[in-house]
Amino acid sequence: MNQSQSYLPGMQGDVSRGNEVQQGKAKMAGVRDRGELHVHLNGAIPAPIIREILADESTELPPGFLIERDLLRNTPCHSLASYLTPWQALRLFPKKRENLDRISNAVFASLVENGVRFVELRSSVLYLAHLQNCSPTQALEHLIESTRNAAHRHGIRRGLILTVTRGDYGAVCLSTLLQAYQDLGEPNDVVGLDLAGDEEIAYPSELPSLFRKAKDRFGLGVTIHAGETGRVENVQAAVELFGADRIGHGTAAGKDPHLLDKLVTQDICIEVCPISNRLTGAVPFDEAHPLQEFRRFGVPFVICSDNPAIHQRGLADDQTIAIAEGLTASDLDQQYEAAKRYSFIRDLD
């Protein structure tokens, strides 16, 4: 058993819980097709590929950043900000177009290994424009072409979700991304918008209305990272202000019955990432995962992987761990259809 395993539910010396996980693995053997609705492109790049690209592009890492210590996250972090440390390096590449293709191919190969039939990939795009010294429109075009080719090669349907990070420039960044999207003729490859980043950081007051306007004008789905740091009000804002169709993580919602009822009434799906939720500290290891409350209230949810390569795991592992977190075999049997129902990708068969 490696170190990462010891920090996951059912893998901490508790024989009965350990048996649940082993039973879960057996049940998972019959679950072949999967849909992935919450995965970050840079968080899905296998570590060997990252090392190769950093060397190929002669990338200088930030002072104090150690690949061996800071690239992976497989033990609990004391905060979400600490969990996000790998992005100090992940945002520094790829500078070369061919390395973007290497990334896309590696990510889709990993998805295939996990039985993923369709995926919604998240990327901020603007960092790519900076790295490759091109316009946001060109960067988005490069990302569309690279992931489209890799998806076709591996036989996976894919959609892109454009991510904006919390902070003072969130509104400007969203406007820039939407302009690039329009410049390219509003391609069907782009299926949604996302707000991510440390929830302790404020966003511009006009940002929620920009999300809603984009949703109404372009028909894009809206998913908001919210409730990952224990702030119930962030989930409420995602629903009431941003017009979210889905909530990323949403763990804090498990403590508010009225909010859970609202999610059920408005048919808003929660993207549950079991492994990530434990590693970020969103769900302490001495507490039950709110997934059990989601089930009890009838809140729609899909199991997702978030940043699988950073965890050295994949969607199949998240679904296995979800059994230890309270899911049943019947729940898992319904996951593929649930992912199709709440996906922003059109015409999934």
Catalytic residues: 228
* Rounded Cα gap, residues 113 and 105, in angstroms: 12
What value, to the nearest 5°, has the Cα angle with vertex 158 and ends 237 and 337?
70
Phi, psi of 290 (to 5 degrees): -65, -10
Look at the block and give the residue holding tokens 């509003």. 186
Question: 194 with 225: CB under 8 angstroms?
Answer: yes
As a whole number of angstroms, the distance between CA 169 and CA 207 comes to 10
CA trace torsion 39, 43, 44, 47 (10° rounding):
-170
Distance CA 47, CA 186 (A): 33
Residue 25: in which H helix or E strand, if any? helix 15-28
Q: Name the DSSP class of 197.
A: S
The CA distance from 113 to 40, in Å, is: 17
Q: Angle CA(96)–CA(187)–CA(180) in degrees, nearest 5?
A: 60
- The residues facing 39 across adjacent strands are 121, 306
- Rounded-to-integer distance, Cα 331 and Cα 227, Å: 23
Look at strands 157-165 and 301-303 and give their pairing.
unpaired
**Could you give the CA distance from residue 71 to residue 65 in angstroms, rounded to a whole number?**
9
